Structure 1
Amino acid sequence: MFTSPRVALCLILTVPALALAGCSKKTESAPAAPEVPSVEAPENMEAAPAVPETVEVPEATETAAAAGEAHVHGAGEFAVAVDGDVLTVTLDAPLANFGLGEGDTDALEVSTGIGDKLVSFQGNADCTEGNRHIQTRTVGDHSGLTLTLEFTCSALDKLDGVRLNAFSEFPGFQTVDAVFVGPDSQTAAVLTPGNPELATR
């Protein structure tokens, strides 16, 4: 039997410590999180569409369309239409073709003699000029003119062609897309200073 108070104190302190040591469990590390299986896309699944490449738009040139209207200096459009005994001639072109500036859109000034001798007729159609109408317009920085002449003809069946004299009257004209629309025929041609006549048959 231990009688020493010092030994008794050591036993009192040691026994509980041993008991605690014997009862305690080792701390286990937390289990690792389960791995998430990788999911592959099914073989029949379509891939996401690729982003389309940006399409470059060419820059407009000085002679390109202004607000949708073609404006090419030197070019024009010419139409001849027959309705009964009336023959209508229409010429559409930039003002520059007539030797005018883009700002010269005053119809009264533009109309002075601009339709005189514009056309001559091949054959013996016996046509007399009637109404004349001139319309100018400005789209953006460009100005154009539409000239319409009406003729009354007593023998349209004898008309062989219409000669556009704009090439000699206005040197600004270089090429003109022309079309003839009659009761029995339609023709088209590109007129130039060397080929100014539109056939009507």
Structure 2
Amino acid sequence: MTLPPVRLTMTLLALGLLAACGRPEPVQPAAPPEAGAPEPAAETETHAAPAATETEDHAHDQDEGSAGGTAHVHGAADLALSREGAAFEAELISPLANFGLSEADGVFTDVVTAELSGLIELVGGDCTPAVPHAEADTSSGHTDGHIHATWTCADPDRVTALRFAGFTAFPSFETVNAVYITDTAQKAGELTPSAPELSLK
């Protein structure tokens, strides 16, 4: 079965993010206490408390067991762009909370949907965007938003950058991991409010 370009790109992105981030080092078991030594219960409680606090602060921030293998991190998102001829296609995957929406409700409101047209932009190339399509996905155990965007460009070779313009409209976005893959090129970078563009050249 052949995956559509964006699905293939997102699969590659997920694998790349996993390879870049790696897995946490396994916890080594502590050596058994010597005879007569006090039980290390107090030390265990000391280490457990900060982890519990961090988990409470970021209750929905990460999901190691998600179907796609990527983490669900509030403030972060993944953006993949592919090109086929004069057509460009992008997919943004983000926790719904980044849009200021309730993950429990799992829907895009009309107000948010109206802001999506300028969310992802191409620089150069005289490109005409189609109306983006948004859907909510709960398959990971959390609620992610998937935004699909497409463009037809009169001069696709002159597209110089991918810009994420959502940092202003949706301030909960902090970082966007962007990737651009074609048959002959690969580019990747982290987009932030102060550096919202990925150069495609």
For Structure 1 versus Structure 2, the TM-score category normalised by the shorter chain is 0.5 to 0.7
Alignment TM-score, normalising by the size of structure 2? 0.64
Residues 182 and 64 of structure 1: is their aligned pair in 2 closer, same or farther, counting only changes over 3 Å?
same
Deviates more, 1:126-135 or 1:165-174: 126-135
Task: Report if aligned partners of 2:162, 2:200 keep a CA contact under 8 Å in 1.
Answer: yes
Report the CA distance between 1:108 and its aligned residue: 6.7
Partner amino acid, structure 1, of 2:154: S
Report the CA distance between 1:106 and its aligned residue: 2.7
* Mapping 1:1-201, distance limit 5 Å: 61=55, 62=59, 63-65=61-63, 67-68=65-66, 69-107=70-108, 109=110, 112-123=113-124, 125-130=125-130, 132-138=132-138, 139-140=140-141, 142-201=142-201
Structure 2: gaps spanning 5 or more residues? 1-27, 31-43, 45-50
Task: Report if aligned partners of 2:166, 2:173 keep a CA contact under 8 Å in 1.
Answer: yes
Partner amino acid, structure 1, of 2:150: E
Task: Report if aligned partners of 2:76, 2:176 keep a CA contact under 8 Å in 1.
Answer: yes
Report the CA distance between 1:75 and its aligned residue: 0.4
Task: Report if aligned partners of 1:92, 1:145 keep a CA contact under 8 Å in 2.
Answer: yes
Q: Deviations over 1:7-48 (max 9, x none)?
A: xxxxxxxxxxxxxxxxxxxxxxxxxxxxxxxxxxxxxxxxxx
Q: Helix, strand or coil for the counterpart of 2:163?
A: strand
Report the CA distance between 1:109 and its aligned residue: 4.5
| Deviating 4+ runs (over 4 angstroms) | 107-111
Report the CA distance between 1:131 and its aligned residue: 5.4
Task: Report if aligned partners of 1:131, 1:151 keep a CA contact under 8 Å in 2.
Answer: no
Q: Helix, strand or coil for the counterpart of 1:100?
A: coil
Aligned-pair RMSD on alpha carbons? 2.8
Partner amino acid, structure 2, of 1:74: G
Partner amino acid, structure 1, of 2:148: T
Q: Deviations over 1:65-117 (max 9, x none)?
A: 16425211100001111011110111110011001111232357586314221
Task: Report if aligned partners of 1:73, 1:94 keep a CA contact under 8 Å in 2.
Answer: yes
Task: Report if aligned partners of 1:111, 1:134 keep a CA contact under 8 Å in 2.
Answer: no
Q: Deviations over 1:132-181 (max 9, x none)?
A: 322202243x3110101111112110111011101112101001111011
Partner amino acid, structure 2, of 1:103: A
Distance in 2 (alpha carbons) for counterparts of 1:53 and 1:66: 22
Instruction: Quote the sequence identity (%).
Output: 34
Structure 1: gaps spanning 5 or more residues? 1-51
Distance in 1 (alpha carbons) for counterparts of 2:133 and 2:117: 12
Alignment TM-score, normalising by the size of structure 1? 0.64
